[in-house]
Amino acid sequence: MKDWLPTLKTKTPEEGYELAVKLARVAVAMTQPDAEIRKKLRPEYATDFDALIASSQVVATHFATVSAANGYWQEQA
């Protein structure tokens, strides 16, 4: 997975949030590279409230990083 993240810069907060979600997804795929195992495990965490909240926290952390890298989009305003 080379050169998949050329920049953290995005044009809008919405694009920044999408990037944050992508960062979380890529981290999961890199942690568990076997797609079949991820597919097998998905039903277990899809109904686990703690896992879903943890996923949201990971995305929020990534979004904070992307937001900071973009100067909170104030430079463009």
Convert the pLDDT of each residue in 5-14 to its tens digit: 999 999 999 9
Percent of the chain at pLDDT > 90 equals 87
Q: Is the pLDDT of residue 34 over 80?
A: yes
Which amino acid would we find at residue 62?
H
Q: In a 10 Å sphere around its CB, with 0-12 CB exposed, 13-18 middle and 19+ buried, how is residue 2 labelled?
A: exposed
29-68 burial string, b = 16+ CB within 10 Å, else e? eeeeeeeeeeeeeeeeeeeeeeeeeebeebbeebbeebbe
Taking residues 11-23, what's their average pLDDT? 97
Q: What is the pTM of this model?
A: 0.86
